[in-house]
Structure 1
Amino acid sequence: MINIWENQQIINWSQIILNSYEKLLNKELIDRKGDQLTQAKNLFYAPMVVFSHNTLSDPFYNYGNEKGLILWDMSWEQLTKTPSRTTTEPLLREERERLLHETNTKGYVTDYQGVRISRTGTKYHIKDITMWNLFDDSDNYCGQAATFSQWEKL
């Protein structure tokens, strides 16, 4: 069985996540030594949560690393069928929309925090979130990603 991070589509997407982060924030998200396969593996097993979603009007997750999948209590298959809004409680979705809009406008947002909910209903206060826009090699907008390494169960 192939690991998620070994799939060529995920290797390519990992490069979009990493390249966009570096371009917008002028620093690396992870150590980028090695080839693209190694970088995809290192991103998947990174010590922080990394998620991304696509460009649909109601975006779906299209990437989550191992820490994120564990935190959200989801398999890869479940995650990639999940609208990203569903990890925010309905009363907090307006705040989430403001964050997405601000990220779209500025390119990235840092030091955000909020409450999110896993597939099984566990609530987390996530802190020090960085969210950024994603662009392919032709500079086409292709989604948004977020990372954080601090959370506490509520």
Structure 2
Amino acid sequence: MTPPLYANPDFFRLLTGSYQCLTGRPLLDPALAEAEAMRWLYEDAPFCVLAHDTAESPVFVYANRTAQRCFGYDWDKFTRLESRLSAEAPNRDERQRLLEAVQRDGFADGYRGLRIARDGRRFWIEDVTVWNLIDEDGAYHGQAATYRHWRDA
């Protein structure tokens, strides 16, 4: 049985390595040993990290605990959610334009967007960085996002 992506070192390296390569910044403290960093990012990071795959309508494949609390989904429900459904229909065009720009440019900083939680609560995500998940061979695996600030709308 394959471990979930939050416990997969290859995915962790893809997530953090592509962030570092594209933004020039580490996603987390590079002094942490890989196993501890992987656990900390999923369990304890005070910021949200999410990632979706390359499906025609991408599905979330990763959401750390902070993102799960922010959106109100547990791991199993989050990783079956089409990422477009994290925004309401009127806000999906803006979100799609951002994702297309990231696909073209590698990453984007400073995004702000309105999102919807499982219970219908609307909230702003602010100062978001979105980046492409690109492996060492240059293969595209989806996109990820991180943000430290959110507030109810």
TM range, smaller chain: over 0.9
State the 1:24 CA deviation: 0.4
Helix, strand or coil: the match of 1:152?
strand
Q: Which amino acid aligns with 2:149?
A: Q
Tell me the TM-score normalized by structure 2: 0.92
Q: Deviations over 1:41-86 (max 9, x none)?
A: 1211211100000011100000001100001101100011000000
CA distance in 2, matches of 1:64, 1:138: 25
**What's the counterpart of residue 78 of structure 2?**
79
**What's the counterpart of residue 28 of structure 1?**
26
Q: Which amino acid aligns with 1:40?
A: M
Q: Is the 8 A contact 1:15 1:40 kept in 2?
A: no
Q: Deviations over 1:14-33 (max 9, x none)?
A: 21110000000111011022
Helix, strand or coil: the match of 1:12?
helix
CA distance in 1, matches of 2:30, 2:4: 19
Residue pairs, 1:90-105, within 5 angstroms: 90-105=89-104
Q: Cα RMSD between the aligned structures? A: 1.6
Q: Deviations over 1:115-145 (max 9, x none)?
A: 0011111110111000000012322110100
**What's the counterpart of residue 45 of structure 2?**
46
Between the two proteins, what is the percent identity of the paired residues? Answer: 31
Tell me the TM-score normalized by structure 1: 0.92
In structure 2, list runs of 5 or more residues that go unmatched: none
CA distance in 2, matches of 1:74, 1:58: 19
Tell which deviates more after alignment, 135-144 or 65-74: 135-144
Q: Which amino acid aligns with 1:72?
A: F
State the 1:6 CA deviation: 6.7
Residue pairs, 1:4-15, within 5 angstroms: 7=7, 9=8, 11-15=9-13
CA distance in 2, matches of 1:46, 1:65: 8
**What's the counterpart of residue 146 of structure 1?**
145
CA distance in 1, matches of 2:80, 2:135: 22
Structure 1 position 88 matched with structure 2 position 105: no
In structure 1, list runs of 5 or more residues that go unmatched: none
